[in-house]
Chain A
Amino acid sequence: KAGVTQTPRYLIKTRGQQVTLSCSPISGHRSVSWYQQTPGQGLQFLFEYFSETQRNKGNFPGRFSGRQFSNSRSEMNVSTLELGDSALYLCASSLGFGRSALLTSGGPSDEQFFGPGTRLTVL
């Protein structure tokens, strides 16, 4: 089974530009989450998409947005890039469960599987 793939692996942009990153989850996985990883802030949650809907969102400005397609592939967009946006952007996929399953005590665990990341450098 193929793992999570992210494209591109490396990207160099200048301030003010915008960028789109892509993530293809493991086949059959419906949930895709995005994280930003920097040396200073560690791993920070951006948002999660499940069945084409944003289900959770972290504390990031509106310049960060995303979407998910019907085949579960996801894209993340950052507009008006700033120097501080330089980071490793990680995508993670999981099976994803509906609300009723999630609220069941002892219900299924839902580990995330990570892609290799996209290294974004903003100059």
Chain B
Amino acid sequence: GDSVTQMEGPVTLSEEAFLTINCTYTATGYPSLFWYVQYPGEGLQLLLKATKADDKGSNKGFEATYRKETTSFHLEKGSVQVSDSAVYFCALSDRDNYGQNFVFGPGTRLSVLP
């Protein structure tokens, strides 16, 4: 079945450091790829998405490119802030004969120190 693998962390960085969170997937059909972020005490928020190969999703300084050849969707940010401290989930949405399946990775906890 479909699956998402991501580095589990925790990841601890200093403010203004470069961030990469790796995400790889396996899927059949025509998956869309997502990054969600969860701040303490809240639900998940969509951070960015890509719906087909070579698409780049971006939002709030975060970027991720849909790489079909390596089945990856790595999250990057050039300069992290303390306010970026949260848990980040990579996810895919695939379609089959019965409907649409969302599969989430285990989440990566990011802590940014001032």
Residues of A at the B interface (CB closer than 8 Å) are: 4, 31, 33, 35, 42-43, 45, 48, 50, 55-56, 90, 92, 94, 96-97, 99, 102-103, 105-107, 109-117
Contacts and interface: CB of A to CB of B under 8 A. Distances in A.
Contact of B34 (A4, A45, A111): A111
A100 B51 CA distance: 18
Nearest to A91: B43
Interface of B: 30, 32, 34, 36, 42-46, 49, 51-52, 89, 93, 95-104, 106-107
A33 B100 CA distance: 11
Tell me the interface secondary structure of chain B in the complex. Answer: strand
B99 A102 contact: yes
A103 to B, nearest CB: 6
A97 to B, nearest CB: 7
B102 A107 contact: no
Contact of B95 (A35, A107, A113, A116): A107
Contacts of B89: 43
B43 A56 contact: no
